Amino acid sequence: MTAQLAPYLFFASNECREAMEHYQRVLGGDLNVMTMGDLPEGEDRPPSATEDMVMNAALVLPGGALLMASDDATGEVGEFSAFAVSIVLDDAHEAARIFDELLDGGQAHMPFGPTFWSPAFGMGVDRFGVEWMVNVGDPGATS
């Protein structure tokens, strides 16, 4: 059996497109966005959904990892809690850039730097409320 995990983020407000476009600028890759307005005729949508709300966004990162998201048209999703999106890189300089850009407008909980398990690691929450952990996985990499 082969399996891949793909985080799926639900944005409580209408921020999905902005967030995913930000992640694409920072991480690279190809972004595909479908809005509620893209639904075929006759398909049901939540009564509170607007045409521009994101029904599904998929960011395929270089290397094939996948990050998906949507706006929550039901109004039932609260704040993000009890999870983090973790990204492992083999280049400490690139990891530092990604950490800084992901957390631009957010808050670092653990500044990016060396740890006993990694040449460089940092964590924090971005301006959209998503918790990120950026880790350098190659013990030979330098920061």
Q: Using one digit for the tens of pLDDT, what is the confidence trace for 54-67?
A: 999 999 999 999 99
* Number of domains present in the structure of the chain: 2
Closest by CA position to 19, among listed 135, 131, 134: 131
Same domain for 62 and 102, yes or no, is no
Q: Using one digit for the tens of pLDDT, what is the confidence trace for 96-122?
A: 999 999 999 999 999 999 999 999 999
- Give me the pLDDT at residue 72, please: 87
Measured CA distances, 131 to 36, 69, 110, 135, 137 (Å)? 26, 14, 11, 13, 19
> What is the domain extent for residue 62?
8-71
Q: How many CB atoms lie within 10 A of CB 85?
A: 16
Query: Does a structural domain hold residue 3?
Result: no
Residue with tokens 């030979």: 140
Query: Does a structural domain hold residue 79?
Result: no
More confident residue, 39 or 125: 125
CATH number of the domain residue 41 falls in: 3.10.180.10
